[in-house]
Amino acid sequence: MTSPTAAAPALRDPLRGRVVLLTGAGRGLGLLTAQTLLDQGAAVVANHRSPSDELERLADKHRDRLRLVPGDAATDETAALLAGEARRFGRLDVLVHNAAITRDQPLVRMPIEDWDEVQRVNLRGAFLTTKYAVKSMMRARYGRIIYVSSVTALTGNAGQAAYTSSKAGLHGLAMTVSQEYASYNIRTATVAPGILDVGLGAAVAGPQKRRMTDRSLLGLGEAGQTAETIAFLASPAADYINATVIRTDGGMRY
């Protein structure tokens, strides 16, 4: 039986010793997730495309446990670099794929270029980062991959055909990865937030935002709580959670 004294560090720092690769870490939910992972003891490789003063300040505070890797995770070169940077910590336990964009407009007016770019960033990026992360995880015979999706992947949302399709694709990817690599002790989970108070949710136009918020039984979501959910899924306490979608949307009206 574990003594209370021995258990205390794990309770304070449930991610101590774990190395997490996080995409889309520059702002919004990704930035909050990076902060939460660090607060719980993880070492983090944080990927971002655009400059982020907040992430730079976080790196200054956690020089020994946070490495920043700028670049487009939907390119083969950056995806490979990210996995390699994680290995400099000696291991890669968890991948959190959060990077995403949106190009919202009615389907009949959507340029092909917008559709393709959303799929490239949101879905191809997940494929590439997973591909390189899994190679490291197979060698260690352990790994967890967390995909940040959206409740719209389950419900649909007018004006978001490209975004919802890309996020729904993450669900299929997660289920397939969990089946292909179960023998290597690699697990997946998909987090599907509702509308949040930061990031893409904060950028939604007023009338649409009100409609989406009104559908949630608990109203506008706090991104910090979803970040805590992601951190829990990255921890040993979630090792038996696999091949499932966890909704952090407050419950929805239909």
Instruction: Tell me the C-alpha distance between 126 and 136, whole Å.
Output: 16
Instruction: Tell me the C-alpha distance between 37 and 160, whole Å.
Output: 30
Specify the 3-state DSSP secondary structure of 142: coil
Q: Quick check: 98 and 149 in contact, CB under 8 A?
A: no
Can you give 105-173 as a three-state secondary structure string? CCHHHCCHHHHHHHHHHHHHHHHHHHHHHHHHHHHHCCEEEEEECCCHHHHCCCCCHHHHHHHHHHHHH
Instruction: Considering the candidates 142, 163, 184, 254, report the single residue annotated as catalytic.
Output: 163
Confirm whether 184 is a catalytic residue.
Answer: no
Token pair, residue 101, equals 């964009």
Active site members: 163
